[in-house]
Amino acid sequence: MNELIVGIDLGTTNSAIGVVDSGFPMLLADKDGKRIIPSAVWYGADGAVEVGHKALRRRHLNGLSVITSVKRYMGRDLSEDDRAMLLQRSPEEISAEILRELKRIAESRMGQEIHKAVITVPAYFHDGQRLATKRAGELAGLEVVRILNEPTAAALAYGLDKLADSSRVAVYDFGGGTFDLSILEMHEGVFQVLATHGDTLLGGDDLDRAIADNIWRIAGIDAQSISRENQLRWLEEAERVKCVMSDREREIFSLPFYDGQSSFSYTLERNELEQWMQPLIARTIRCCRMALNDANAALSSINALVLVGGSSRIPAVRRAVEDCFGRAPDLSQHPDEAIALGATIHAGVLSGAMKKMVLLDVTPLSLGIETLGGLMNVIIPRNTTIPCKAGEMFTNAVTDQRAMLVRVLQGEREMARDNWELGSVEVAFEPAPKGHARIGVQFRLDENGILEVLARDVKTGQDRILEIKHAAVDVSDEAIEKMVGESVEHAFSDMAERVWTEARLKAEELIPAVDAALAIGVDLCNDEELAMIQLAQQQVKDALSSQQANVLKAAVQKLDQATEFLAARIVEKAMNDAITRQLEG
Ligand code: AMP
């Protein structure tokens, strides 16, 4: 079994962990069924620690002992204020608590210990910040096998790694605390970051703040005059209303007894909310323009646009991005799960667990070789699950033949000429009477679609090996459709040609064989029997020129039957002769 490697999105606001199980990447949920864990850590007395939702819930009672957004401090020089805010702990130590919690969730879900992880970081993180992330992993008991750029992870989650070389992807990531836009370019199957532009102090939290500021203005409240705990309640309500209004036109902002006596309620309309958020959204769009400029990328050169981060769920954000890029974004993934999912896919590829998905692949078209008469001899039929192995034995068609050309074909047609030739290999063998040399041909198709053709002269054990890369799976859907369509269209004529060819080959083999039998066994049959054989033989010859498969098949069968007794008598005579010789000897 492969060792599990988990994928982790260690985010500013939220974090998530995933693993590839049975070939499929999936995020793991905690005991409450939640896959997204707030990146919050609470430190209590006597070393008590709580992480995630539990830590956030403590914010109202003892807000100062709950640390959020620790990612902002990773790999940075800290001021005295920062240290106080972090309760004199290092950012790595605090991040390690979040990672430990994620590790626990994964271990309890998977029922085994986890030791290795891929962790994502923003593309703009410098070496010091990456190193700090790695150290946090180690403190949590995880070997960080790869630090992966967040936009790359997002692109993986959207399956964009299948894009052609030089394709470009724009990843717009608007989360809780930060914003960035990255332009990636695909190079030999690997994404390279061409440019990234962002604002580490611009996120959903700032939208909440803008909403709260406006609400305080309407309520006539001076934010400076209320306690931090009280401010938090307004901000939390602002966030709730903001999230709800991504799906609704209006929502009531409601805060009962916010100061112990007074209550506040206000019906917020989508238009008004959007006005409040507009200046911040405009700042993200300016970053997009700068990134495009830095990458020297024309809008028309962008092949895909994906949105990640919880704040990209906001309809006004989606509209603004769409306007800027002049194209609709791909919204097929959860914006707040895409990065963790991409990290998981990358982890799965590294551990080998992702290959299992390829195992479920099937051969899109049949694979075989050309045999005598120009026929397609299928060795691995279409739709066979790969990896797979199959083989067949062939003999020489002509006496003293010295070599056989193995032509490897792909396709669904009965005649070799109508299929595609993938390659060929010549197998030499020792001269032998017709039908006596034996050549084994084996096809082996591995999980990467590489076809290995092995041809062996059974007598000498000599092998010839031909390797055909990607042949089996690298066929475009259109080509497959065309090939299958043609095989259906020509099914009758193809089959007729195959039947005719098989019958012809049989006839051509039988006629000289009957001549040979008569040469040694003419004394073993009476005139009537001899006439019958000669007639049947003539009928086969006539049928050969008739071009009618059924007639030929019937004639061949009749000749076979007519000579059955002769073959038996020849064998019997040979045995008697041998016994007589023995007795005489
Ligand atoms: P992330 O850092 O990607 O986890 O994003 C978290 C941010 O996304 C927070 O500021 C959330 O308030 C915000 N968010 C999550 N869901 C929504 C939503 N439906 N509409 C608007 N903002 C959202």
Question: How far, in Å, from the CA of 148 to the mean position of ligand 1?
Answer: 22
Contact in structure between 195 and 182 (CB atoms under 8 Å): yes
Nearest ligand 1 atom to the CA of 336 is 3
Question: How far, in Å, from the CA of 81 to the mean position of ligand 1?
Answer: 28
Q: Does position 359 have pLDDT exceeding 70, yes or no?
A: no
Classify residue 160 by its DSSP letter. G
Q: Does position 304 have pLDDT exceeding 80, yes or no?
A: yes
Q: Does position 67 have pLDDT exceeding 50, yes or no?
A: yes
Average pLDDT value for the chain: 88
Q: Does position 196 have pLDDT exceeding 70, yes or no?
A: yes
- Give the tokens for residue 518: 């008569």
pLDDT for position 486: 86
pLDDT for position 513: 86
Residue to substitute in 8, 13, 239 for testing ligand 1 pocket (most ligand atoms within 8 angstroms of CB): 13
**How far apart, in whole angstroms, are the C-alpha atoms of residue 516 and residue 509?**
11
pLDDT for position 548: 84
- In this structure, the strands spanning 40-43 and 66-68 are antiparallel
Cβ neighbours for 318, distance < 8 A, ≥ 6 positions apart: 307, 312, 329, 331
pLDDT category at 448 given cuts 50, 70, 90 is: low
Q: Does position 314 have pLDDT exceeding 90, yes or no?
A: yes
pLDDT category at 143 given cuts 50, 70, 90 is: very high
Q: What is the pLDDT of residues 93-139, one digit of tens each?
A: 999 999 999 999 999 999 999 999 999 999 888 888 999 999 999 99
Percent of the chain as helix, strand, coil, to the nearest 5: 45, 25, 30
pLDDT for position 220: 94
pLDDT for position 235: 95
pLDDT for position 357: 41
Q: What is the pLDDT of residues 335-349, one digit of tens each?
A: 999 999 999 999 998
Q: Does position 585 have pLDDT exceeding 80, yes or no?
A: no
Q: What is the pLDDT of residues 543-553, one digit of tens each?
A: 988 888 888 98
Residue to substitute in 202, 235, 336 for testing ligand 1 pocket (most ligand atoms within 8 angstroms of CB): 336
Helices 477-489, 491-521: crossing angle, 10 deg rounding:
60
Q: What is the pLDDT of residues 403-440, one digit of tens each?
A: 888 899 988 899 999 998 888 888 888 888 877 888 88
Question: How far, in Å, from the CA of 175 to the mean position of ligand 1?
Answer: 6
**Nearest alpha carbon, ligand 1 atom 14:** 310
Residues 244-263 as b or e (16 or more Cβ within 10 Å = b): ebbeeeebebebeebeeeee
Nearest ligand 1 atom to the CA of 174 is 3
Residues classed as catalytic: 9, 71, 150, 173
Q: Does position 60 have pLDDT exceeding 80, yes or no?
A: no
**Nearest alpha carbon, ligand 1 atom 7:** 176
Q: Does position 519 have pLDDT exceeding 60, yes or no?
A: yes
Three-state DSSP class for residue 493: helix
pTM (2 d.p.): 0.64
- In percent, how much of the chain has pLDDT > 90? 48
- Using CA atoms, how far residue 585 sits from 574, 575, 580, in Å, is 16, 15, 8
pLDDT for position 447: 67
Contact in structure between 385 and 361 (CB atoms under 8 Å): yes
Residues with CB under 6 A from ligand 1: 11-14, 175-176, 203-205, 239, 242-243, 246, 309-311, 313-314, 336
pLDDT category at 491 given cuts 50, 70, 90 is: confident
Region 519-523: mean pLDDT is: 82
Residue to substitute in 150, 243, 334 for testing ligand 1 pocket (most ligand atoms within 8 angstroms of CB): 243
Question: How far, in Å, from the CA of 204 to the mean position of ligand 1?
Answer: 6
Q: Does position 10 have pLDDT exceeding 70, yes or no?
A: yes
Question: How far, in Å, from the CA of 193 to the mean position of ligand 1?
Answer: 25
List, in order of start, the domains of the chain with CATH numbers.
5-203+278-361 (3.30.420.40), 363-488 (2.60.34.10), 492-584 (1.20.1270.10)
pLDDT for position 24: 81
pLDDT for position 1: 55
